Structure 1
Amino acid sequence: MAYLQLVKQTSSGLLLPATPESGDFLRSVKIGEWIHADFKRVRNYAFHKRFFKLLQLGFDYWTPTGGTVTSREQKLISG
């Protein structure tokens, strides 16, 4: 199975190869030959990076940092 990366050309609506490997594969396909494809959009990496940073921030915020002894009690114990 070949994985192609295609880019939509805005003026004409054509899908063009985005990588040299995709171009090589498309050149190997004969004119008039049918190919079947399942199209998916690539996820936005910057959005996912921000989302997981937000999850980490929430986890760090709500994770307890101390034990059952408060800092005031700890000072009293250690003297």
Structure 2
Amino acid sequence: MAQLHLIKQSQGILIPATPETSDFLQSKCKLGSVLEADYKLVRNPAFHRRYFALLNLGFEYWEPTGGAISSNERRLITGYAKYLAAYGGSESALLDAAGQYLD
């Protein structure tokens, strides 16, 4: 199944937007043949480029804070270190090791 790209002109006329579409319509479709299609509007390429340029600009100025580990995950690891310390071991040494592991 061919994917056709058409541009709407005045008076409701659809013309081929790409050479491939033009070739398909000239070689495969006879005069008077009926084509059935599901249409969708494509994104405006100018706005699409502007949107991604804005994303790139925001990414250049973005400075991450807090790292990749959330406070809940940090709390989970320190809680596990305290749990291990309860069964034997130095709590301060385990918490220090957990902190070094997370950083």
State the identity %: 59
- C-alpha displacement at 1:23, in angstroms? 2.2
Other-structure match for 1:23: 22
The number of residues matched between the two structures is 64
Q: Give the aligned CA root-mean-square deviation in angstroms.
A: 2.4
Gaps of 5+ in 2: 66-103
TM-score of the aligned structures, taking structure 2 as reference length: 0.47
Q: Could you state the TM-score of these two structures normalised by the residue count of structure 1?
A: 0.57
Larger Rg: 2
5+ unaligned residues in a row in structure 1: which ranges? 66-79
Supply the distance in 2 between the matched residues of 1:16 and 1:44 (Cα, whole angstroms): 18
Higher relative contact order (CA 8 A, sep 6+): 1
Query: Any runs of at least 4 consecutive aligned residues in structure 1 with deviations exceeding 6 A, and if so which?
Result: none
Q: Larger helix proportion, structure 1 or 2?
A: 2
For 2:6 and 2:13, the matched residues in 1 are separated by 9
